[in-house]
């Protein structure tokens, strides 16, 4: 009988201690403050409490040795500046006279980021809008916050050079075709996900304007003439890229 009673007594004594450490409890401090949490350890001098809900407690200043400010990532940019490199791909979506079309654009740019969140750089890439194009542009970005998810606005402007080869030229009949490319403009807004310390993921939505022109020269007859065709593209742009700092 004693062999049965002794284990039962130990279990009965241990059960309150286990329940005390596993359930949320409220500790009343000497100054009247109340602290709710789970007691994870109970030593001879201290309670180790895991606080489970946000709460306000009163702490005597004599218990505090110093107060330090925590750097909030949502604050405005402080003194972070330096060079950056941006690589991205875009889908240019729009409508033509016949149907909806989508085009791919690849871009690469680099520049300098200032302490106030302003980024200025130069870029290039490769894309196709009725003809292969090589754009050269200046870009301006503004990041008002240095947060994990940082919103920004951007503006790009420059000129796209045509890479179309003169395959249709027929010098025997005096017919030539010249492609000149044209002015480009790109503006929009997006977010920068600072996933790693020096690398971020860039997602943006914007408007893209591109002008291209083709001149057809006909010198076969006695009266030579030239015809210029100008096409203006207005496209919705979805960007995805990486920013290296």
CA dihedral 68, 71, 77, 80 (to 10 degrees): 90
Q: How far apart are CA 236 and CA 94, in angstroms?
A: 6
Q: What is the model's pLDDT at position 83?
A: 94
Q: Record the tokens describing residue 159, joined without a space.
A: 């000129």
Residues 53 and 86 in one domain: no
Indicate which CATH number applies to the domain containing 162: 2.40.160.20
Count structural domains, the chain.
Answer: 2
Burial of 243: CB neighbours in 10 Å, binned 0-12, 13-18, 19+: buried
Q: Is residue 117 part of a domain?
A: yes
**Average pLDDT across the chain, whole number:** 80
Contacts of 29 (CB under 8 A, 6+ apart): 35, 57, 58
Mean pLDDT of 15-33: 65
Q: Is the pLDDT of residue 5 over 70?
A: no
Residues 46 and 123 in one domain: no
> How confident is residue 154, by pLDDT bands cut at 50, 70 and 90?
very high
> How confident is residue 217, by pLDDT bands cut at 50, 70 and 90?
confident
3-state SS, one letter per residue, for 85-124: EEEEEEEEEEECCCCEEEEEEEEEEEEEECCCCEEEEEEE
Residues 118 and 166 in one domain: yes
Residues 11 and 121 in one domain: no
Residues 213 and 158 in one domain: yes
Mean pLDDT of 21-50: 77
Residues 105 and 183 in one domain: yes
- CB–CB of 192/201 below 8 Å? yes
Share of the chain above pLDDT 70, in %: 77
Q: Is the pLDDT of residue 105 over 90?
A: yes
Q: What is the model's pLDDT at position 139?
A: 98
Q: Is residue 128 part of a domain?
A: yes
pTM of the model as a whole: 0.63
Domain extent for 153 = 82-244
Mean pLDDT of 172-178: 67
Q: What is the model's pLDDT at position 179?
A: 81
Helix H or strand E segment including 128: strand 118-128
Poorest-pLDDT segment among 56-65, 70-79, 221-230? 70-79
- CB–CB of 111/122 below 8 Å? yes
Q: Is the pLDDT of residue 112 over 60?
A: yes
Residues 134 and 22 in one domain: no
Q: How far apart are CA 103 and CA 120, in angstroms?
A: 26
In this predicted model, which residue has the larger pLDDT, 64 or 106?
Answer: 106
Q: Is residue 65 part of a domain?
A: no
3-state SS, one letter per residue, for 189-230: EEEEECCCCCEEEEEEEEEEEEEEEEEEEECCCCCCEEEEEE
> How confident is residue 14, by pLDDT bands cut at 50, 70 and 90?
very low
Q: Is residue 239 part of a domain?
A: yes
Q: How far apart are CA 40 and CA 50, in angstroms?
A: 7
If you write DSSP's letter for every residue of 6-35 in order, what string do you get? HHHHHHHHHHHHHHHHHSEEEEEPTTS-EE
Q: How far apart are CA 171 and CA 175, in angstroms?
A: 6
Residues 124 and 33 in one domain: no
> How confident is residue 114, by pLDDT bands cut at 50, 70 and 90?
very high
Residues 28 and 149 in one domain: no
Q: How far apart are CA 160 and CA 141, in angstroms?
A: 20
Residues 108 and 53 in one domain: no
Residues 10 and 99 in one domain: no
Mean pLDDT of 50-54: 74
CA dihedral 193, 209, 121, 198 (to 10 degrees): 10
Q: Is the pLDDT of residue 21 over 90?
A: no
Residues 153 and 216 in one domain: yes
């Amino acid at each position: 009988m004693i062999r049965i009673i002794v284990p039962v007594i130990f279990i009965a004594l241990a059960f309150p201690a286990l329940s005390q450490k596993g359930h949320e409890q409220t500790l009343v401090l000497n100054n009247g403050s109340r602290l709710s949490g789970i007691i994870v350890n109970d030593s001879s001098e201290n309670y180790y409490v895991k606080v489970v809900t946000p709460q306000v407690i009163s702490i005597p200043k004599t218990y505090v040795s110093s107060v330090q400010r925590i750097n909030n990532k949502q604050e405005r940019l402080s003194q972070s500046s330096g060079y950056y490199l941006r690589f991205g791909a875009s889908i240019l979506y729009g409508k033509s006279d016949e149907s909806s079309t989508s085009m791919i654009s690849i871009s690469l740019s680099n520049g300098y980021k200032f302490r106030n969140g302003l980024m200025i750089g130069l870029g290039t890439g490769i894309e196709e809008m009725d003809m292969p194009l090589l754009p050269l542009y200046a870009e301006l970005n503004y990041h008002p916050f240095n947060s994990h998810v940082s919103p920004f606005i951007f503006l790009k402007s420059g000129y796209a050079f045509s890479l179309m080869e003169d395959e249709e030229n027929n010098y025997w009949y005096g017919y030539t075709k010249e492609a000149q490319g044209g002015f480009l403009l790109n503006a929009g807004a997006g977010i920068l996900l600072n996933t790693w310390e020096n690398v971020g993921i860039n997602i943006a939505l914007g408007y893209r304007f591109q002008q291209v022109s083709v001149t057809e020269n006909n010198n076969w007859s006695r009266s030579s003439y030239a015809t210029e065709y100008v096409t203006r593209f207005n496209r919705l742009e979805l960007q995805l890229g990486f920013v290296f700092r």
